[in-house]
Chains A and B, each alone.
Chain A
């Protein structure tokens, strides 16, 4: 159908709709009370809880820092603390960026741009997050062994650990592959929107 034909059909429909008014005051006011909980709100809450847990971990490590008596343990503990301190802030900031679309104030272009950029940042952060989590998991092993068992794994290297590491590597390799695969489409869609705006 060409544009002119569309315009004719659209105009006829608009005229008919004018005659078919069906909204009442009651229906309209009820519609203003809707309560949607989007998936993003759920993620935001989960991240907030995660953030609290991270900071509890950070406080525990800080309070017990003196028990890390070798350079290797101290470096591991400091890296763990840095991850626990920074990751939740970046994570919450990224999600907040996603929620910044204000449909009542922005125009169509701004809405699309803000949405696509927010989503892109979120996906990139999630990818980085997987890598950092892997590092954190490795660092946690000697730190928690010292913290809860007073054992320095750097000195008493257990052969079992040598078996566990390749397993961990395979597990994380699969996880990274899966996460990248999941987000590929989302990232592509965001890129398409941004490209579309620029065209």
Chain B
């Protein structure tokens, strides 16, 4: 399979992941689109180095989270977004209650620290502690401690409301 084909297949299979990460890290649609494109670009740049690796999803999460972190930290960028005009980065659930809950959830996640933002995202994606540790670089025990702290923070946010 050609590199381009293998890459587009990988992205298509995992486009939901990129969408969710973009939405967690950016609150405006414009920034979400820019981050989405940046993640795809970085994945493409590192695709050669990945091809020999065992687990595609671990690599994808790692690159996507790193890109998201540097994206929000970098100074204001000036650049050209290529070809994403046709991409409508919108998820509108049919159920208004779900929509409301998702908005509330994103608002809560965005209040977390940068480290915890990445960890909760992986936890919500159904990743096990070992996998989260492997993607983030924190030890398993640190991941466990952080998750219990995140739960506490979420409860506090709830009480404050």
Contacts and interface: CB of A to CB of B under 8 A. Distances in A.
Interface stretch (A5-13, A71-79, A169-177): A5-13
A110 to B, nearest CB: 6
Given A3-B154, A40-B75, A193-B114, A10 B40 contact: no
Interface stretch (A18-26, A80-88, A132-140, A149-157): A18-26
B102 interface: yes
B15 A34 contact: no
A32 B105 CA distance: 31
A27 to B, nearest CB: 6
Interface string B94-132: 000010011011001100011100101001111000000
B140 interface: no
Main secondary structure of the interface of A (DSSP, over half): helix
Interface of chain B, helix or strand or loop or mixed? helix
A93 interface: no
Nearest to B73: A115
Interface stretch (A45-53, A98-106, A159-167): A98-106
Nearest to B14: A23
A34 B105 contact: no
Contacts of A3: 120, 123, 150-151, 154
A16 B41 CA distance: 25
A23 B38 CA distance: 15
A124 interface: no
Interface string A31-68: 11111111110000000000000000000000000000
Nearest to A107: B137
A103 B77 contact: no
A111 interface: yes
B86 interface: yes
Given A13-B91, A28-B8, A196 B115 contact: yes
Given A17-B19, A32-B40, A39 B74 contact: yes
Contact of B138 (A36, A40, A109, A111): A109
B30 interface: no
A153 B8 CA distance: 70
Contact of B98 (A12, A18, A28, A111): A12
18 contacts: A1-B105, A5-B101, A6-B109, A9-B105, A11-B126, A23-B87, A28-B7, A32-B41, A33-B82, A34-B80, A36-B38, A39-B77, A104-B42, A105-B49, A108-B138, A109-B138, A110-B137, A111-B70
Given A27-B84, A108-B62, 14 more contacts: A1-B105, A2-B158, A10-B125, A30-B83, A37-B77, A37-B78, A37-B79, A39-B74, A39-B77, A103-B42, A103-B46, A106-B62, A108-B69, A115-B69
Interface of A: 1-3, 5-7, 9-14, 16-18, 20-40, 101, 103-112, 115, 193, 196-197
Interface of B: 4, 7-8, 11-12, 15-16, 19-20, 36-38, 40-46, 49-50, 62-63, 65-67, 69-70, 73-84, 86-88, 91, 93, 98, 101-102, 104-105, 108-109, 113-115, 118, 120, 123-126, 134-138, 150-151, 154-155, 158
